[in-house]
Amino acid sequence: MQPVPAKLTIGTVTIAPATVLAPMAGVTDTVFRRFIRNLGGCGLIMTEFTSADGVLRKKDQKAKRYLHFYEDEHPISAQLFGSDPQVMAEAARIVEDLGFDLVDLNLGCPAKKVVKCNGGSGLLRDLPAIDKIFAAVRAAVKIPFTVKFRAGWNDEEIVCVELARMAESCGLAAVALHARTREMGYSGNARWEWIAAIKDAVKIPVIGNGDIRTPEDACAMVTQTGCDAVMIGRTAPSNPWIFRQIQQYCAGMENAGAGNGHVGTAASGCPVERSSTGFSHGATRSAGRPTLSPTLRKHGNGAADVVSCLPRIRRCLRLNLIARSSRPRQISDHVA
């Protein structure tokens, strides 16, 4: 198998290693992102997906919270969703002014409340509208502009290759595919062959997403599709060490010779991490600990180990023990 690439360049931004924390609603806030960043092994982190309309509303506290980040989170990408090209363009300008390294368009969210507003994967049925958004946002910002999308609305409406080509022709710097349709939601198996088809169709970097649960899965995706980077979503809350495990596994492959690495082989001077199945669940559920929110509970029991630690992580952040940056970048600084 081929290892995950050691680095990837998207526009002017270098991502090393070529692993990405996927944007997840209710999960990838600044606390979780910094937790992942400090564990090591993750090349790029992304915000929760954020409404472009909300970004432009000064009193929208949720949008302010979503775009709240610290200097030690770089490189970081802000993901936006919306259907109005001009609103998307103005929101992207604010994202750039806030200091984000990249801006990303969400065309993958399958949630009904987002789709009914023609956002997320709802736009996959209207490629001309997507083309207008691509053009407006690309003209509005200088930072790299990327897009994350699903393969199509359903198996009869697969548009991923056409969409990737459109993105490339509009000047986008990279594309990321969650290899499922909107109709599939999060069920079934990700169709990695769609990632390979996009890689064959465009020259810009292609990021693969879907069903990466282990370092072996990450390397298998790179081997089977030729993708330039891997993006990990639902595995991260239950096993936040996954990025470091991938880095160690790939270093072990290189040390042992191409294709001859062993599972769990660590990089020199870097200990092998325990697997996510080695969590001691009972020890993290002592009295007084907060219970999981419904949003995080769906990510699996392993998430309890991480989420139960978040109050202590937040306290450390407030005490400036984990990150030394003082003042976070906030949307309120840029919306009059």
Residue 148, helix vs strand vs coil: strand
Tally Cβ neighbours within 10 Å of residue 61. 11
Is residue 160 annotated as a catalytic residue, yes or no? no
Distance, in Å, from the CA atom of 194 to the CA atom of 204, rounded to the nearest integer, reads 16
Identify residue 309 by its one-letter amino acid code: C
* Residues 109 and 134: beta-carbon distance below 8 Å: no
Q: CB within 8 A of 77, min separation 6: which ones?
A: 44, 45, 46, 47, 100, 101, 102, 103, 104, 146
Tally Cβ neighbours within 10 Å of residue 160. 23
Give the total residue count for the chain.
336
Q: How many CA atoms lie within 13 A of 310 on its CB side?
A: 22
Tally Cβ neighbours within 10 Å of residue 203. 7
First to last CA, the chain: 52
Q: Which of 42, 109, 170, 250 is catalytic?
A: 109
Crossing angle of helices 127-140 and 160-169, in 10° steps, is 30
Residue among 111, 53, 118, 60 at smallest CA distance from 80: 53
Residue among 252, 256, 258, 254 at smallest CA distance from 271: 252
Phi, psi of 156 (to 5 degrees): -90, -10
Buried b (16+ CB within 10 A) or exposed e, 93-130: bbbbebbbbbbbbbbbbbeeebbeeebbbbbbbeeeeb
Residues marked as catalytic: 109
